[in-house]
Structures are given as C-alpha cells and as structure tokens.
C-alpha cells in the first residue's frame, strides 16, 4: 500500500485536482512539472498488511452494500 503524503497547504485538494487536470490537458507534462516543487510536511505509512487491508475493505464493502440495498424492495 502506498504512503500518504500530506501537503502543507489549506487548499491541497483543489491544487491536486488542478495538477491532474493539467496533466490531462498536457499529456507530455510530467507529474513533477504539473505539481511543482513541494515537500510533504508528514508522510503516513501503512501499518496494516495488504491482506488485513483487503479483508477490511471487503467487510466494509459488504456492509455498505447491505445498507444501500436495505430499503430497496424492487
């Protein structure tokens, strides 16, 4: 599982979306060129094994599906 890097800016999400849009508009552009020069303030490393994470996601997906279809009697 990849690490999660925390960008030190209040508007990190829209800036990231803009960088991805720029990559889509300019396919020859590297991700580094689109994002610019920044350093994360913190990096979260996964502690769960891949197997544990997959088991958790599977259980969560089943619960979400059950909740979503609970009232669906069509």
Buried b / exposed e across 45-74, counting CB within 10 Å, b at 16+?
Answer: eeeeeeeeeeeeeeeeeeeeeeeeeeeeee
Q: Is 0.85 topped by the overall pTM?
A: no
pLDDT in tens, 35-52: 888 788 888 898 999 999
The reported pLDDT for the residue numbered 27 is 93
73 falls in which pLDDT band (50, 70, 90)?
low
pLDDT over 90 (residue 8): no
């Amino acid at each position: 599982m990849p690490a999660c890097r925390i960008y030190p800016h209040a508007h990190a999400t829209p800036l990231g979306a803009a960088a991805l849009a720029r990559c889509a508009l300019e396919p020859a552009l590297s991700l580094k060129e689109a994002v610019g020069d920044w350093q994360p303030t913190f990096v979260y490393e996964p502690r769960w094994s891949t197997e544990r994470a997959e088991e958790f996601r599977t259980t969560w997906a089943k619960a979400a599906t059950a909740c979503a279809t609970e009232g669906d009697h069509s």
